[in-house]
């Protein structure tokens, strides 16, 4: 069946019921309509999981999960694994059983509480097109439209109250979505009037906040871009993330070329690998074939830097007051998404009058232990938001907080 993205944002164009081992749950794989940074309609795949039984009159709250980095190829969508509706299963952790991070954090608790959970794959991870990796605006549209899709499915029994929660790439999505009032207020969608009542960001990234003044002129753009690239080339794993990010930025703007940043050979290799493999396989492939020589892929002189920085900033978090309370959980040992990004984000949004709480997790937490370590804190936070309690924040102390 050839699907086309003609229709309403959030419209489910295909669904199939799937088995799940989560007690009291029913689940579907779905394909739905979303859009990207440029207003281009897209097809996105994902999962909807709902409690079995009669929903309350006002409908069930929606938890929209924004996953972390899995890769940019079509086969990297977490909904595509054999048993996708399980608690978060991480590649890096002991007990992880796969080549990618899949599963949905707190899925069992959420079903028990009577929530509907939806988990997007993001565009380009199963529904065609090129994944605009790390462009939080596009990824946030996919996450918002996933909530609309869930709300439109009668069998899910979902209402309008929505919480977005995400980790890593998805943490960036959670903060970006909170600053997209215009996208939330769009009419003529599959489910108008979604009400965002909270955003939970686990170890988020925010590219724009790291690029102040980067869109002023070519010289400042060059300097900012060079700094950003250097920041993420310390090892092959970080380099793979950075290369994939640039591949995703290029996917959103036809005026950009990978050869602006990488040598001809580097661009060819990176495009081939990133187009066909998921995250950890990308890093392994580059490591196996190029070892410590991966830095030779970088050009000495960047071309077209201003167009690059403008696209990156446009695709990042809007400097707009968040429409809901935001909470950030971070670990002191996170070297994947430097916590300074969350700190600068908080300072920026607090100045705009936003309600942003930023919480350092107890103990020594890395990027990859953050989802597990934060669950005990965000579960009661969600209950409080659903109960209509005001959210506390540490905006007043933001500039004094550690990084």
Number of Cα atoms under 13 Å in the Cβ half of residue 124: 28
Comparing C-alpha atoms, which of 328, 402, 335, 327 is closest to residue 368? 335
Task: Say if residue 134's pLDDT is above 80.
Answer: yes
Q: Strands, DSSP E only, in 306-396?
A: 326-330, 356-360
Query: Which CATH number is correct for 12-207+316-400, 3.40.50.1820, 3.30.590.20, 3.20.20.70, 3.40.190.10?
Result: 3.40.50.1820
Q: What is the pLDDT of residues 4-58, one digit of tens each?
A: 888 999 999 999 999 999 999 999 999 999 999 999 999 999 999 999 999 999 9
To the nearest 10°, report the CA torsion of 40, 45, 50, 54. Answer: 60
Q: What is the pLDDT of residues 304-348, one digit of tens each?
A: 999 999 999 999 999 999 999 999 999 999 999 999 999 999 999
Percent of the chain predicted with pLDDT > 70: 100
DSSP category for residue 193: -
Quote the pTM value: 0.97
Q: How far is CA 216 from the centre of its chain?
A: 27
How sure is the predictor about 219, in pLDDT bands with cuts at 50, 70 and 90?
Answer: very high
Q: What is the arithmetic mean of pLDDT over 162-175?
A: 98
How far apart CA 258 and CA 338 sit, in angstroms, is: 25
Enumerate residues 6+ apart whose C-beta is below 8 A from 249: 132, 134, 135, 256, 308, 311, 312, 315
Looking at every residue in the chain, the average pLDDT score rounds to: 96
How sure is the predictor about 171, in pLDDT bands with cuts at 50, 70 and 90?
Answer: very high
To the nearest 10°, report the CA torsion of 75, 76, 79, 85. Answer: 130
DSSP per-residue letters across 195-252 = EEEEEEEES---SGGG-TTTTS-HHHHHHHHHHHHHHT-SSHHHHHHHHHHHHHHHHT
Which residue is listed with tokens 């999981």? 49
What the block records as the tokens of 314 is 């446009």
How far apart CA 50 and CA 63 sit, in angstroms, is: 10
How far apart CA 239 and CA 230 sit, in angstroms, is: 9
Q: What is the pLDDT of residues 80-132, one digit of tens each?
A: 999 999 999 999 999 999 889 999 999 999 999 999 999 999 999 999 999 99
Q: What is the pLDDT of residues 258-285, one digit of tens each?
A: 999 999 999 999 999 999 999 999 999 9
Q: What per-residue confidence (pLDDT) applies to 41?
A: 97
How far apart CA 339 and CA 333 sit, in angstroms, is: 9
To the nearest 10°, report the CA torsion of 138, 198, 386, 119. Answer: 30
Domain ranges, ordered by start, for the chain: 12-207+316-400, 212-313
């Amino acid at each position: 069946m050839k699907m086309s993205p003609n229709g309403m944002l959030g419209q489910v164009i295909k669904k199939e019921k799937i088995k799940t081992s989560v007690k009291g749950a029913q689940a579907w794989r779905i394909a739905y309509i979303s859009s990207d940074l440029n207003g281009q309609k897209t097809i996105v795949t994902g999962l909807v999981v709902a409690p079995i039984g009669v929903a309350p009159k006002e409908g069930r709250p929606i938890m929209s999960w924004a996953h972390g980095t899995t890769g940019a190829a079509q086969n990297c969508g977490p909904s595509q694994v054999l048993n996708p509706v399980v608690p978060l299963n991480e590649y890096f952790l002991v007990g992880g059983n796969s080549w990618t991070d899949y599963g949905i954090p707190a899925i069992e608790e959420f079903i028990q509480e009577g929530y509907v959970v939806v988990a997007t794959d993001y565009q380009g991870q199963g529904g065609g097109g090129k994944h605009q990796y790390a462009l939080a605006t596009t990824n946030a549209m996919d996450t918002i439209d996933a909530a609309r899709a869930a709300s439109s499915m009668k069998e899910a029994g979902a209402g309008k109250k929505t919480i977005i929660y995400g980790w890593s790439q998805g943490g960036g999505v959670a903060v970006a979505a909170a600053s997209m009032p215009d996208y939330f207020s769009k009419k003529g969608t599959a489910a108008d009037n979604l009400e965002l009542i909270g955003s939970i960001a686990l170890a988020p990234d925010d590219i724009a906040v790291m690029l102040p003044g980067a869109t002023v002129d070519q010289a400042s753009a060059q300097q900012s871009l060079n700094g950003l690239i250097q920041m993420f080339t310390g090892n092959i794993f970080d380099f793979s993330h950075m290369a994939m990010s640039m591949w995703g930025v290029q996917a959103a703007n036809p005026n950009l070329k990978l050869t602006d940043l990488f040598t001809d050979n580097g661009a060819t290799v990176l495009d081939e690998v990133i187009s066909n493999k998921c995250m950890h396989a990308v890093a392994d492939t580059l490591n196996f074939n190029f070892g410590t020589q991966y830095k030779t892929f970088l050009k000495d002189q960047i071309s077209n830097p201003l167009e690059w920085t403008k696209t990156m900033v446009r695709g990042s978090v809007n400097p707009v007051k968040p429409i809901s309370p935001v909470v950030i959980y971070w670990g002191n040992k996170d070297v994947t998404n430097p916590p300074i990004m969350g700190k600068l984000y908080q300072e920026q949004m607090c100045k705009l009058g936003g309600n942003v709480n930023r919480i350092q997790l107890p103990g020594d937490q890395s990027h990859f232990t953050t989802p597990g370590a934060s669950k005990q804190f965000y579960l009661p936070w969600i209950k409080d938001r659903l109960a209509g309690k005001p959210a506390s924040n540490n905006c007043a102390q933001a500039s004094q907080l550690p990084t």
